[in-house]
Structure 1
Amino acid sequence: MAETLPLLLRAARGEQVERPPVWMMRQAGRYMKVYRDLRDLHPGFRERSENPELSYEISMQPFHAFKPDGVILFSDILTPLPGIGVNFDIVESKGPLIEPAIRTDSQVKNLKTLYPEKSLPYIGEVLTRLRQSVGDQATVLGFVGAPWTLAAYMVEGKSSKNYAIIKAMAFQEPDLLHRLLEHLSDSIATYVCYQIEHGAQVVQLFDSWAGQLSPVDYDLFAAPYQKRVVNKVKAKYPNTPLILYISGSAGLVERMSKTGVDIISLDWTVDMAEGCARLPAHLGVQGNVDPGILFGSPEAIKSRIVDVVKKAKGRSHVLNLGHGILPGTPEDNARIFFETGKNVNELIHAKTTIS
C-alpha cells in the first residue's frame, strides 16, 4: 500500500524515498501571471480565498504549471478568525487589518467557539476537490496560523515591526494573553482536524512571528500553545504529519524540536547541515533555500539546491524555500527550482563523478 502513497506524504512520515519531495511556500500567488490575471478580475483577497471555485483554481495553478510534489490550499492564516467573532480584511500593499483590535478582557471572553463546518465550509470543499484532482500525483497540504502569530495580529490589529502592543500585554497582563492563546489553540486544533477530515494529508503550522520572541518568552507564550495544538490533533490523527515553520528561527531550532511536530521547517538563516545537527535524528527537515536565489542565474539556483540537499542527506527532507517565494520572481526560475529538485539525485551524481 505504501508505494501508492504520494512521495511527499511518504517522506513526511519518515519513510525512505527515492528523492526529496519538492514544493514551495506561497507557490500559488503573485509571481505567476495566471494568478495576477485572475486577481485583476477578482481584486479582493478574501473573495479569492473564500470562494471555493477561485481558491481551488488558484491552488491548482502551480500544479498545472510545475507539477510540485505538494499542492497547498490557497487561503490565509487569518481565515478562521471570523468564525470566532473577529473580522479582518487584507488590503493589497498594506496587509491584514483587524478592527477593533483584541485587547481587553471582555473581548477575549466574548470570543466564540470555532465550528469550521459552519463558518468555513468552503475550506472543506476546496480540500476535497484538491484531493480528488491530484490523486496520488501530489500530497495535499493544509495550513494554519499558530496561536502566538494569530494573537499578534489580533492584538496589534495589523502587521508590526516591533510587536510592542502584544509584548506590552505579555509583560503587563500575561493572564489575559494566556487566555487568548488558550482559546486560539483549541480553535486552531479544531481547524487542523477539519482540514484533515476533508483531504489534507500533511498540515503546516505557521508561527511566523514567534521568531520575534526571546527564547524565554518563546517558552512562555509560543511553545506551550504549539504543543497544545499538536497534542489535540495527534490524539485524533496520530498518523498525519505536522510541520512547524517559524521565520527567523535560528535561535529557536532546538526548542521547535520539542513541540511534537514531525518536521521542522528551517528558514534560510540556518545552514542546513548545522540545522540537522541541532535536531534529533527522528525529526524530518524542510527547506531551506533562500527565496532570493530565485532572482539569480539558473546555475546559481541549481548549485544552491544541490548544496542544501547534500547537507540534508541521511535525514527525511522536504525541499522547499526558507520562506515564501517573493513577488516578482521570474516564473522560469520557479520552474528551474522544481525541475532541479526533481532531478537533484542525477545532478549530485554527475557533480560527484566529475569531481
Structure 2
Amino acid sequence: MAGTTQLPYLLKAARQEILDRPPVWMMRQAGRYMKAYRELRDKYPSFRERSENTDLAVEISLQPFRAFAPDGVILFSDILTPLPGIGIPFDIIESKGPIIDPPIRSKEQVDNLRPLNPEESLPFIREILQTLRQEVGNQAAVLGFVGAPWTLAAYAIEGKSSKDYKIIKRMAFSEPAVLHALLEKIADAIAVYVRYQIDSGAQVIQMFDSWAGQLSPSDYDRLALPYQQRVVQQVKATHPDTPFILYINGSAGLLERMALSGVDIVSLDWTVDMAEARQRLGPKVGVQGNIDPCALFGSKEFIKERIIETIRKAGNTGHILNLGHGILPGTPEENAAFFFETAKQADQLLAVPV
C-alpha cells in the first residue's frame, strides 16, 4: 500500500484508479505566457539552445512546476528534435516556426536516412529527463513526448508549417511508395526515441500527431494509424507498463480510430463533448483534456464552471484534466494559476450541488 501512495497522482489516473479529482497539467505549460520564460528567451534567443542545453531545458521545464505544482512535468523540447539524428536538419525561427531545408522530396533522400542512435545524437535528452526525475521526485509524473510519423513526415516534406499539406498529400497520392518508406523509417526512429526517453526517466509518453486531423478517415487509416501502431507496438513490446497518450488537433471525427493505435489515453481537443467522447471510446481507454485554451481568457467564475463541467462529464476514472491544445501566449498567468488551484480543489467543488 505504501508503494501506491508514493505513485505520482497522474500515474494513478493512467492506471484507471478511482480518484477524488483528476490529475492536471497543461500542454505548453512551459512557455511564452510565463514572464519567467520570456525573460529567459530574451537572454537565449535560439529555441534549439533553450531545448538542447540541459540546464536551460531543465529550468524551463520546472518553471510551471514551481509556479503552479501541476501533476505532470513535461520535457521542454520539440517534436522535431530527433530528426537531425536520422539525417534531417532543422531550425526553429522565432515567430515563423520550424524550417527544414532541404525538404525531403525524393526516394534518394529517403534511402539516405540513417537509423536513430539517441546516445550519440540526443545525449542531452537523457540528462534533462534524469535531472527532472531527481528534482520532481514523486510530486508529479515526468512526461516525455514525441511527434508521430505522419506529422514529422509532413514537416520534413513540406519544409515548414502548412495550411493545406499540398506537397505531402501530392506525394501520398502520386508517389505513395516514397512516402511509406519515409513513414516506416520515421516510425522506427521514434520507437527508439520513446524507449530512450523512458529509460532516461520519462514515466508517461505523449505522442503528438498534430496534423493527422487534416486527413480524411480513409487516408488516416493508410497514412497515420499504421505508423502510430508501429511506434506503440514496438514500445509496448519492451515497456508495456508506460502509459502512452495520443493527441491530434481537430480529432473529433477520429476518436475511435485513435483508440485503435494501441495507446492508453486519447487526448481530446475542445471540439468534442467530453461525455460523448467517453461514450465513443469506451471504458478501457483513458481520456485527457479538453478545455478550450481560450477559456483561460474568461473570468475566474467562468474558468471554474468549465473545469467542473468537464470533470463531471469525464467521471472519476481514467481522466487527466488538460486543455484541448497548448496554453496560448498572452494568457494571464494568474488565470493559469487559478486553473491549477481550482482543479486541485475539484473534490470539494464537486461535492457542492449544481
Q: TM-score range by the shorter chain?
A: over 0.9
2:178 alignment counterpart: 176
Correspondence 1:212-231 to 2 at 5 A: 212-231=214-233
Correspondence 1:303-318 to 2 at 5 A: 303-318=305-320
Provide the C-alpha distance between the structure 1 equivalents of 2:65 and 2:331, rounded to a whole number of angstroms.
17
1:115 alignment counterpart: 117
1:248 alignment counterpart: 250
Any idea what SS the aligned residue of 1:208 has?
A: coil
**TM-fit CA distance, 1:18:** 3.1
- CA deviations 1:323-350 (Å, max 9, x no partner) are 0000000000000110111011211212
State whether structure 2 residue 33 is matched by structure 1 residue 27: no
1:198 alignment counterpart: 200
**TM-fit CA distance, 1:315:** 3.6
Correspondence 1:49-68 to 2 at 5 A: 49-68=51-70
2:162 alignment counterpart: 160
**TM-fit CA distance, 1:19:** 1.6
Moved over 4 A (4+): none
Contact 1:285–1:315 (8 Å) recurs in 2: no
Task: Please tell me the residue identity of whatever aligns with 2:288.
Answer: Q
Contact 2:275–2:314 (8 Å) recurs in 1: yes
Provide the C-alpha distance between the structure 1 equivalents of 2:194 and 2:145, rounded to a whole number of angstroms.
8
1:285 alignment counterpart: 287
**TM-fit CA distance, 1:233:** 0.2
1:341 alignment counterpart: 343
Contact 1:257–1:280 (8 Å) recurs in 2: no
- Identity of paired residues, percent? 67
Task: Please tell me the residue identity of whatever aligns with 1:146.
Answer: A
**TM-fit CA distance, 1:153:** 0.1
**TM-fit CA distance, 1:314:** 4.3
1:81 alignment counterpart: 83
Gaps of 5+ in 2: none
TM-score by length of 1: 0.98
Task: Please tell me the residue identity of whatever aligns with 1:249.
Answer: S
Provide the C-alpha distance between the structure 2 equivalents of 1:325 and 1:37, rounded to a whole number of angstroms.
18
Task: Please tell me the residue identity of whatever aligns with 1:99.
Answer: D
Provide the C-alpha distance between the structure 2 equivalents of 1:338 and 1:289, rounded to a whole number of angstroms.
13
Contact 2:19–2:317 (8 Å) recurs in 1: no
Gaps of 5+ in 1: none
Any idea what SS the aligned residue of 1:141 has?
A: strand
TM-score by length of 2: 0.99
Task: Please tell me the residue identity of whatever aligns with 1:259.
Answer: S
Any idea what SS the aligned residue of 1:60 has?
A: helix
Any idea what SS the aligned residue of 1:250 has?
A: coil
**TM-fit CA distance, 1:17:** 2.6
Any idea what SS the aligned residue of 2:281 has?
A: coil
